[in-house]
Structure 1
Amino acid sequence: METLADTEAGGVRNGPQLGIESRSIDYVPQHERHGKVLNQGPFWFLGNFQFFTIAIGFIGPGMGLGFGATALASTLGILFGTLFMAFHASQGPDLGLPQMIQSRAQFGYRGVILPLLGTLFTFAGFNVVDTVLISQGLNHLFGWGIAAISITLGLVAAVIAIYGHDWLHIIFRILFWISLPLYIILTFAIFNGTIKAQPPGHIAFTWVAFAAQFAAGASYNITYAPYVSDYTRYLPRGKSRSGLVWSVYLGASLAAIWLIALGAWLATYFGASDGMVSTNGAGNLIFPHFGTLTVLVSVAALTATMGLNAYSGMLTILTGVDSLVKIKPTKSVRIVGIAVLALIWLGISLSLTANAINTLYDSLSIMLYLLVPWTAVNLTDYFFVRKGRYAIADFFTPTGIYGAWGGRGIAAYIIGFIASVPFFNLAGMYEGPIAHALGDVDISWAPGLLVAAGAYILLSRSINFTREREAMNISAHVLEAAHLSD
């Protein structure tokens, strides 16, 4: 199994790598594992701790929903969506692989290209919206050129992604401790009346607005699902699975709940329609330039998150290319993959003229549609079908136990996606008949999850687990031999 030995070409280390990361879509052996489960909480907390998240809180008020109802819908959506994201975390230390490489078990060595299209759209889509929000906001506040801001953001994010996994963790941890006190002060100023509330505009509860806010909250963290194993795969195997899941869950959900509620308050009682501008204005009421400081720190946090997107996007591109033409995951290949993705999102960002909030909501909806059936299939396989037991060597060859095309996973994904189409509601683009009958409420995530998971369980009854156990034994010997040859 020479293909796996090629993936073991990285150097031996016991701690963070401060140079450019040597690995990408290859397996991380045990002797290179490092990191702490508790650090995952701040990492995913910061991923949601910037004004992009604040803008999610504008959706409900923009549809007439009150602050309390918006906060409730967001909280329920976040708590629901983060479940699926967090459970992916345990796959990283168990398998030592990027998320989408592991998906070859369900979709096949080449068939994984199907969900890769959805995940690549997610990574590029978030960076497009991030770029638009930051460049338009800084242009409005300080008059800085949109093109210059966009290019600078792209370069910084690309450099962070090139240095890779360990630098992302270090940068996120630093920015977490810088950002946290700023938003504590901002939130406290709202509660003690330093920032005066204005009379709200027209408020009218509707299930359509509530469901839209819920779906936006749910999709916000469900769209993190393809990322999670990418940033837990260096953790030593044997770490507490429940502790890891809780660390990721609490980090990602608490930050999102906090800032979406903050955004809902700013939209309802401060007349906010732009996350950055409202953060700047509200903060400057506390004391001069505090809002500006908070904005600049948030820009840094969101730029680091763009690096996160670029890193996982690179893994997606390399997985897709490797599924068609075998590649050796060198540093040069990583850099090329990141550069290609950066050119894609920058090109789209610079040509985009649509309203940023509408773009944000539509993008989140489309990402949700594409990712829900994938996460259902992947988690069902991992926790209920194969129960975390895989032949890791066979992820790296189309002739292995998982084959080139995973008919079960592909069929379940398509069935789940088709089942959710009648529930879609994309304003001005498409409205499914069931969504229309429900008063324009979009609950497509429910049939997407249930149908895809149910279909996969039924189709998986034909899996030959005896053959898979034999493949796992062979894989264990291959991994051991590859480790000894380092």
Structure 2
Amino acid sequence: MTSSDTATQRESAIEQHSIDYVPSSERHGKVWHQGPFWFTGNFVLPTMVAGFVGASMGLSVWYSVLAIVLGVGAGTFFMAFHANQGPRMGLPQMIQSRAQFGSRGSTVPFAATVFVYVGFLVFDTVLAKQGLGLLLPGGELFWYPVLIALSIVIAVVGHDLLHFVQRWLTYLLVVVFAVLTVVAIVHFGSNPTPADVPAATAGWDLTAFLVQFSLAAGYNISYSVYVSDYTRYLPAKVPARKLITAVYAGAAFSAVWLMSLGAILASYLPDPDPITALREVGDLLFPGFGLIVVMTSVLALISIMGVNAYGAMLTGASALDGFRKVRPTVRLRVVGLIAVGLLSLVVALLIPDDYIGSFNNFVLMMLYFLVPWTAVNLVDFYFVRRGKYAIAEILKPDGIYGRWAWRGVTAYVIGFASMIPFFSTSFYVGPVADALGGADFSFAVGLLVSGVLYLLFSRNLDHEAEAAARAASEAELEGAAAREESVR
């Protein structure tokens, strides 16, 4: 093997694309891989923390599990339908929003999306450091930079490595947590309930049920901004039903499992901390098994940190490109990832000690900002433009979709405003939510208002002009792909 061959292999190991179009010649992957990818993507400790809420508010274990199943089932529905956009368009998830919001108008949902990615990256970093602290020395100033740097390295290699790591971690997570779940159910089900834990006085509480339902739904809706980033390399004509089902099954199963485990732990342990709870319950099997569970969880956290860094980089580059055209090079990805890492490090060092309370508010804020976007984006793809876009025009800041697309921006803003009376957080409770005892129905209102308004606003779209632009776009993309292939 020559040195030039070795250099080519090293180069090909690192993903070359970022916010640009993935040509058909580079499409690869299998639909079923999406199942384990999203299983592991959701099988992380923040997911378990989302299951603490119902029990902490006085809801019994089984009512908590019911709220989780219903909430996850509803939220994952919207997330999974974004999966079909990746192979049809060959673009990352958020840059597709230019078709609905314009190249500059899309910065509205872009800002919310970066908030989601960085927020999750921060919470993952905090939890991973706590887990490693059970085994290894070192404080926040050491482990935070190390963990974030490791996630950036994974994200620099990119799409294929992320898929590989997520897929193989699934097998380890299933084995370890299946054992842990059985231990928890058997132990807590066969021992007297202590008087100082929530399960001793838990029962039915409508407000707690609705809060747990909303949190579970919002948690999985937040993954909507990720999906096409990891389906865009699939061949354009993969079966939509199989793809959506694979994403739905992976994301829903892991969320229901881990949130339900969280509900059990929060019901039978006083003021549970996720790391301490896993170790304590794991050690019931034999001393040291709890540490195995925690270290397995840390591996999953590091992997999803790479996913979050990767998504934040793509979204940030898309936003910048709307104001100043950028070249989608590997260098851009590396610079973008370093910027994301530095921002996440600063936030992680500043986050308050009560991160569980902060996390619950964070999930609700994600729900508020992303629900109007997902409604507009899905209505456009499935009902307005029916998956037909001029891809080359999306990639142009001054393309046919414009800089500020009033239909999407207006539907988003009105949809968000309509949700405000239904907000329910620790720092603000809207009048409707207050009348309902703190229950939060805002996501249902936002989905309906934004989706319906966008559909109404889009009745006079110039579909003939877009059809002509699509034809020119296809020729342009094919020509660009041919030129790139000849250079290689």
Q: TM-score, normalised by structure 2?
A: 0.93
Rounded Cα–Cα distance in structure 2 between residues aligned with 1:79 and 1:219: 11
Q: Is the 8 A contact 2:35 2:251 kept in 1?
A: yes
Rounded Cα–Cα distance in structure 2 between residues aligned with 1:324 and 1:350: 31
Rounded Cα–Cα distance in structure 1 between residues aligned with 2:210 and 2:292: 34
Aligned to 2:74: 80
Alpha-carbon offset, residue 134 of structure 1: 2.8
2:140 to 121, 137, 146: 146
Instruction: Give yes or no for the alignment of 1:424 onto 2:423.
Output: yes
Aligned to 1:89: 83
Alpha-carbon offset, residue 267 of structure 1: 1.4
Aligned to 1:409: 408
Instruction: Give yes or no for the alignment of 1:169 onto 2:167.
Output: no
Q: Is the 8 A contact 1:55 1:263 kept in 2?
A: yes
Instruction: Give yes or no for the alignment of 1:435 onto 2:429.
Output: no
Aligned to 2:5: none
Alpha-carbon offset, residue 231 of structure 1: 0.3
Aligned to 2:340: 341
Rounded Cα–Cα distance in structure 2 between residues aligned with 1:89 and 1:82: 11
Deviations 1:242-290 (A, max 9, x none): 1000000000000010111111111112446111211111111112211
Rounded Cα–Cα distance in structure 2 between residues aligned with 1:98 and 1:50: 23
Rounded Cα–Cα distance in structure 2 between residues aligned with 1:485 and 1:442: 53
Alignment map for 1:267-346 (pairs within 5 Å) = 267-271=266-270, 273-346=272-345
Q: AA paired with 1:95? A: M
Structure 1 portions without partners, runs of 5+? 1-14
Q: AA paired with 2:463? A: F
Q: Is the 8 A contact 2:130 2:275 kept in 1?
A: no
Aligned to 1:6: none
Alpha-carbon offset, residue 319 of structure 1: 0.3
Aligned to 1:379: 378
Deviations 1:141-181 (A, max 9, x none): 76642332222211111111111100100111121112110
Rounded Cα–Cα distance in structure 2 between residues aligned with 1:445 and 1:455: 15
What secondary structure is seen at the aligned counterpart in 2 of 1:420?
Answer: helix
Instruction: Give yes or no for the alignment of 1:221 onto 2:215.
Output: no
Instruction: Give yes or no for the alignment of 1:444 onto 2:442.
Output: yes
From the superposition, tell whether residues 197 and 368 of structure 1 become closer, same or farther in structure 2 (CA, over 3 Å): farther
Rounded Cα–Cα distance in structure 2 between residues aligned with 1:229 and 1:198: 48
What secondary structure is seen at the aligned counterpart in 1 of 2:103?
Answer: coil
Instruction: Give yes or no for the alignment of 1:51 onto 2:45.
Output: yes
From the superposition, tell whether residues 94 and 166 of structure 1 become closer, same or farther in structure 2 (CA, over 3 Å): same
Alpha-carbon offset, residue 18 of structure 1: 6.0
Aligned to 1:19: 13
Deviations 1:77-128 (A, max 9, x none): 1000001110000000000000111110000111111110110100011111
Alpha-carbon offset, residue 133 of structure 1: 2.6
Alpha-carbon offset, residue 192 of structure 1: 4.0
Q: TM-score, normalised by structure 1?
A: 0.94
What secondary structure is seen at the aligned counterpart in 2 of 1:425?
Answer: coil
Q: Is the 8 A contact 1:109 1:403 kept in 2?
A: yes
Rounded Cα–Cα distance in structure 2 between residues aligned with 1:157 and 1:195: 39
Rounded Cα–Cα distance in structure 2 between residues aligned with 1:17 and 1:278: 43
Aligned to 2:261: 262
Aligned to 2:474: 476
Alignment map for 1:175-214 (pairs within 5 Å) = 175-193=169-187, 197-199=191-193, 200-214=199-213
Aligned to 1:29: 23
Rounded Cα–Cα distance in structure 1 between residues aligned with 2:189 and 2:421: 44
From the superposition, tell whether residues 195 and 244 of structure 1 become closer, same or farther in structure 2 (CA, over 3 Å): same
Rounded Cα–Cα distance in structure 2 between residues aligned with 1:134 and 1:196: 32
Q: AA paired with 2:458? A: S
Structure 2 portions without partners, runs of 5+? 1-8, 194-198
What secondary structure is seen at the aligned counterpart in 2 of 1:223?
Answer: helix
Deviations 1:17-46 (A, max 9, x none): 862211100000000000000010000000
Aligned residue pair count: 471
Rounded Cα–Cα distance in structure 2 between residues aligned with 1:381 and 1:392: 15
2:113 to 114, 119, 126: 119
Rounded Cα–Cα distance in structure 2 between residues aligned with 1:106 and 1:441: 31
Q: Is the 8 A contact 1:141 1:277 kept in 2?
A: no
Aligned to 2:229: 230
Q: Is the 8 A contact 1:377 1:413 kept in 2?
A: yes
Q: Is the 8 A contact 1:58 1:267 kept in 2?
A: yes
Aligned to 1:12: none
Instruction: Give yes or no for the alignment of 1:132 onto 2:126.
Output: yes
Rounded Cα–Cα distance in structure 2 between residues aligned with 1:352 and 1:434: 30
What secondary structure is seen at the aligned counterpart in 2 of 1:398?
Answer: coil
From the superposition, tell whether residues 403 and 198 of structure 1 become closer, same or farther in structure 2 (CA, over 3 Å): farther
Alpha-carbon offset, residue 233 of structure 1: 0.2
Q: AA paired with 2:473? A: S
Q: How big is the alpha-carbon RMSD for the aligned residues of Structure 1 and Structure 2?
A: 1.7
Rounded Cα–Cα distance in structure 1 between residues aligned with 2:302 and 2:180: 21
Rounded Cα–Cα distance in structure 2 between residues aligned with 1:480 and 1:197: 66
1:464 to 459, 462, 465: 462
Q: Is the 8 A contact 1:90 1:244 kept in 2?
A: yes
